[in-house]
Structure 1
Amino acid sequence: MLWIIVILGVITLIVGPSAWVKFTLKRYATDREDLPGTGGELATHLVKRFELNEVNIETTQEGHDHFDFGQHIVRLSPSVFNGRSLTAVAVAAHEVGHAIAHEKKQKISHLSTRYLPLAHFARRITAGLLLGWPALSLLLHIPYAVPLHALVVGLSGLLAVIVQLAILPEEWDASFNKALPILREGNYIPQEDLPKVKKILTACAMTYVAAALIKVLFVWRWFKR
């Protein structure tokens, strides 16, 4: 019975953040006529306001909002770019917050440039091992193939979570040192909506950590088959 409680607790800790992030972003995604513009319009305005001359705005796949610091592009999903909701405005401000930190070469921006390539590397290793290890172990007759496979993939997944936790201060900076003051002081949203926007910006900051945790659960389920 104790093991069941422990397992359920661990699964809740893994799934909970992702579920909360999705719930929060969806909850405040209803368009509102009282907001002065869409997420895309706000992002364009902020890029000009902060003189981010090399930064462009593009649309991307739904749910893949991010700032590409290598190409200097703020990429917003269609619902954010075209949406006139609290979620659209807050997400756009969060991504421009990343752009401000990188384009102004602020110290906090070094976290993603240092650690994100490591996260991408770990993700590629995990994906490759999940797909190719069975054939590789048969060809090379690797002893203890299954437990070794589980160990390597598990460590790769854990590394991805650790990297995202290492980058969390930069995500927090984009939300609460950049986006929130911009939205509050620029009167881009009604003051009474600030508590809601804080929840959205917290969800923005936690997005990648939540996604990394879900991948750990996916790896565990894959090995349970």
Structure 2
Amino acid sequence: MFLGPYTVLILIVFVASMAIQAYLSSTYRKWGQVRNPRSMTGADVARLMLDENGLGHIPVQAVPGNLTDHYDPIRKTVNLSESVYGVPSVGAMAVAAHEVGHAIQDKVHMPALVLRGQMAVPLNLGMNLAPLLLLAGIFLHISGLLWLGAILFGFALLFHLVTLPVEFDASRRALNYLQQRGLSGGGEGGNGARAVLTAAALTYVAGFAMALAQFLNILGIARSSDD
């Protein structure tokens, strides 16, 4: 985004992120076409998992788009994309269980999830301001603005770092539930669910790597301004 000592690293991470996103799409496309052993749609799996974890009051809703699935901690809803909600595939089953994993985290007040929620609003405001501070610092030669922008990007890095255990834990809960209830059926079904969730996890790792590369780059620019 800004030329600095780590610009090449940013480009490398960007290319890697695009490759990981393509891998996720390819993996889900494959397992999104394989029927799961119980012929349960993503909505069926989510409803069953919610009910069996004392979350019967949380609705499961369909939302437009592809892989736009998410749990809304404000409205307390599990939102499944069109390729998950009504599809009885291995991929849909895995994604739906993952989103319910977030609902369970919310129920037990997982510290990392709570922290991420508290960081979201101020971080969005800060990230809208950070590029302006960096540009002003560069063109006006005011190192203080550069350092303030670097600090805001540091918070973004922290947000991505906190996100990792939240996402990994949701996938762990999903896989454990599917295996314990025999929904994945073991064998191909179990391997497929794991493959989909692993591919999704890699996108969050890539997000953290990009945030780290950007932070190091901006830190380098700020340091050079002091010389």
Task: Spell out, residue by residue over 1:150-196, the C-alpha distance to the aligned partner (whole angstroms, 9 max, x if none).
Answer: 554444334223222123222222111x1111111212123112233
Tell me the distance in 2 between the aligned counterparts of 1:150 and 1:61: 40
Task: Give the 3-state SS of the residue equivalent to 1:28 in structure 2.
Answer: helix
Contact 1:56/1:74, CA 8 A, preserved across alignment? yes
State the partner residue of 2:126.
Answer: 125
Cα distance change of structure 1 residues 78 and 153 upon mapping to structure 2, 3 Å threshold? farther
Deviations 1:64-112 (A, max 9, x none): 3221222211111211212332221111101111112222x25xx1212
Q: Name 1:11's counterpart in structure 2.
A: 11
Which residue in the other structure is 2:185 paired with?
190
Determine the C-alpha separation between the residues in 2 that align with 1:152 and 1:199.
Answer: 40
Q: CA RMSD in A?
A: 3.5
Q: Tell me, which stretches of 5 or more residues in structure 2 are unaligned? A: 1-5, 218-227
Q: Is 2:106 aligned against 1:111?
A: no
Determine the structure 1 residue equivalent to 2:59.
56
Matched residues, number? 207
Q: Is the 8 A contact 1:20 1:203 kept in 2?
A: yes
Check if 1:42 corresponds to 2:39. Answer: no
- Cα displacement string for residues 7-38 of structure 1 (whole angstroms, at most 9, x for unaligned residues): 65553345425632541343233323454111
Q: 1:16 to 1:172 in 2, by over 3 A?
A: same
SS of residue matched to 2:60: strand
Tell me which of 141, 144, 148 is aligned to 1:144.
141
For residues 35-60 of structure 1, the C-alpha deviation after alignment (integer angstroms, 9 at most, x for no partner) is 41111121112112222133111223
1:80 aligns with 2:84: yes
TM-score when scaled to structure 2? 0.72
- Which letter does structure 1 place at the counterpart of 2:141? Y
Aligned residue runs from structure 1 range 84-95, under 5 A:
84-95=88-99
Deviation at 1:119, TM superposition (A): 3.8
Call closer, same or farther: CA 1:89–1:119 in 2, change over 3 Å. same
Aligned to 2:33: 31
Contact 1:115 1:167 in 2 (8 A): yes
Q: Percent identity?
A: 24
Distance in 1 between the 2:153 and 2:62 partners?
29
Moved more, 90-99 or 16-25: 16-25
Partner of 2:100: 96
Distance 1:196-1:121 versus aligned 2 partners, 3 A rule: same
TM-score by length of 1: 0.73
Q: Secondary structure at the residue paired with 1:126?
A: helix
Matches of 1:153 and 1:76, distance apart in 2: 36
Shift of the alpha carbon at 1:198? 1.8
Cα distance in structure 2, aligned partners of 1:90 and 1:184: 11
Letter in 1 for 2:27: R
Q: Give the equivalent residue in structure 2 for 1:65.
A: 69
Q: How far apart in 2 are the matches of 1:190 and 1:149?
A: 56
Q: Is the 8 A contact 2:60 2:77 kept in 1?
A: yes
Once residues 143 and 99 of structure 1 are traced to their aligned partners in structure 2, the CA distance between those partners, rounded to angstroms, is 47
Q: Which residue of 1 aligns with 2:152?
A: 156
Query: In structure 1, how many angstroms separate the alpha carbons of the residues matched to 2:180 and 2:25?
Result: 22
SS of structure 2 residue aligned to 1:76: strand
